[in-house]
A and B are shown apart, each in its own frame.
Chain A
């Protein structure tokens, strides 16, 4: 290989570095973006930051139905959980506390139970035990979990008033401070 010779020849090597600096700089300049491309206008639904939250309609524990799109205008925190998942259990009291503090300011919490890998009666017992007051949609078929491409429990999506996901937290337990900071940030936005 002639590479070693190139490196040892000080002038040639400096020349090469300079050429690469110019080339790399030009490429960087050429590939700059005008703005944050994905979040302009109405981004397509996808379970990622900067995209619209995929819509769903689900039955609620204790009766009734909820449709995510109907909550446009509110800040929505969608939390996927199961009774057998310790971090899910651990973060529920914090979610409840923040829900009570912020619901009158425009926060909605949907604690979607992954009923396809849990049981409705266990979920009901759990909600009662912890005295949780937010709505609990039941994902009986797993279709909503699938459309959110769940990668672990708990998974939490912070959705702004326009229905765009602004933060995704996979795993837990989330600290009260974390939930609170995300919620306050979104409530401040329009």
Chain B
């Protein structure tokens, strides 16, 4: 765990840096994949870029709306470089919405677009895991194994390492040997299904699981549902109706 690095007066937030690098590499891979399946790569770039920027702005505005009185008194805090004053879910929603509108206006074919994004998203998941490793979040259940790590005053499963390895495996598969036909949209569904399967399996070794009734781990129940839905949806993506790119 190494949450920050002190560089003179600057405090470098390493988990945030890992996410930034993940976005950067993911974006360049998405552009490459777009070229490979004959989609305009600048459209893919803009789609992601606008989504990210609007998502960030939306997340901050949503947070400010929740604490309106404080932000009205101190409107400059709207521009604070602080990830803790972001409302993640609202931001995600805004970003997705803006990306969708952009894609529609540019007439980007859905299945091609999703498949172009798949390897980039997969590599981002790897860096998401690295972020967890740096921050010590998403930590493992206490255990004594030869590969246990000492974290938060306990020997634990190195759950973040499991997460990174699983994400690397998914990425390798999607990049080198995509299970579906490139551009059919099914590789995106494979990414969803495989990531959900990995979470379903690995959540059992986590020490911070949110529990639902009966002690079921929420993430497992949700992942199971997502995995099955993605596999189910794959069938309808099978017919090879290749939408032509403009």
Given A33-B215, A45-B153, CB of A17 within 8 Å of CB of B82: no
Contact check, B153 vs A33: say whether CB atoms are below 8 A apart.
no
Given A7-B186, A173-B70, CB of A151 within 8 Å of CB of B3: yes
Q: Which of B153, B197, B217, B234 contacts A7 (CB 8 A)?
A: B234
Q: Which of B1, B80, B83, B221 contacts A28 (CB 8 A)?
A: B221
Contact check, B11 vs A152: say whether CB atoms are below 8 A apart.
yes
Contact check, A4 vs B238: say whether CB atoms are below 8 A apart.
yes
User: B224: CB under 8 A from chain A?
Assistant: yes
Given A90-B74, A169-B84, A175-B70, CB of A20 within 8 Å of CB of B220: no
Using CB atoms, name the residue of chain B closest to A151: B3
Least CB distance, B86 to chain A, in whole angstroms: 10
User: In whole angstroms, what is the CA distance A27 to B215 when docked?
Assistant: 13
Given A28-B200, A149-B3, A173-B74, CB of A20 within 8 Å of CB of B227: yes
User: In whole angstroms, what is the CA distance A14 to B235 when docked?
Assistant: 10
User: B77: CB under 8 A from chain A?
Assistant: yes
Q: Which of B183-241 contact A (CB under 8 A)?
A: 186, 197, 200-201, 203-204, 207-209, 211, 214-217, 220-221, 223-224, 227-228, 231-232, 234-235, 238
User: In whole angstroms, what is the CA distance A170 to B220 when docked?
Assistant: 28
User: A119: CB under 8 A from chain B?
Assistant: no
Least CB distance, B210 to chain A, in whole angstroms: 10
Q: A20 to chain B: which residues have CB within 8 Å?
A: 197, 227-228, 231
Contact check, B215 vs A28: say whether CB atoms are below 8 A apart.
no
Contact check, B209 vs A27: say whether CB atoms are below 8 A apart.
no
User: B181: CB under 8 A from chain A?
Assistant: yes
Contact check, B216 vs A3: say whether CB atoms are below 8 A apart.
no
Q: A28 to chain B: which residues have CB within 8 Å?
A: 200, 216-217, 220-221, 224
Q: Which of A4, A24, A46 contacts B152 (CB 8 A)?
A: A46
Interface SS, A side = helix
User: In whole angstroms, what is the CA distance A51 to B207 when docked?
Assistant: 12
Contact check, A170 vs B84: say whether CB atoms are below 8 A apart.
yes
Contact check, A4 vs B181: say whether CB atoms are below 8 A apart.
yes
Given A27-B200, A175-B70, CB of A36 within 8 Å of CB of B211: yes
User: In whole angstroms, what is the CA distance A17 to B189 when docked?
Assistant: 14
Q: A30 to chain B: which residues have CB within 8 Å?
A: 204
Q: Which of B141, B224, B235 contacts A24 (CB 8 A)?
A: B224
Contact check, B141 vs A37: say whether CB atoms are below 8 A apart.
yes
Contact check, B216 vs A32: say whether CB atoms are below 8 A apart.
yes
Identify the B interface with A (CB < 8 A): 1, 3-4, 11, 13, 67, 69-70, 74, 77, 80, 82-85, 135-136, 141, 152-154, 177, 179-181, 186, 197, 200-201, 203-204, 207-209, 211, 214-217, 220-221, 223-224, 227-228, 231-232, 234-235, 238
Complex A-B: 15 CB contacts under 8 Å: A1-B179, A3-B180, A4-B181, A7-B186, A13-B231, A17-B231, A21-B228, A27-B201, A29-B216, A37-B207, A45-B153, A46-B152, A172-B85, A173-B74, A175-B70
Identify the A interface with B (CB < 8 A): 1, 3-4, 7-8, 10, 13, 16-17, 20-21, 24-25, 27-38, 44-46, 48, 51, 86-87, 90, 94, 149, 151-152, 169-173, 175-178
Kindly list the 7 A-B residue pairs having the minimum CB-CB distance in the complex, ordered from nearest: A171-B84, A31-B204, A175-B67, A32-B215, A28-B220, A175-B70, A171-B82
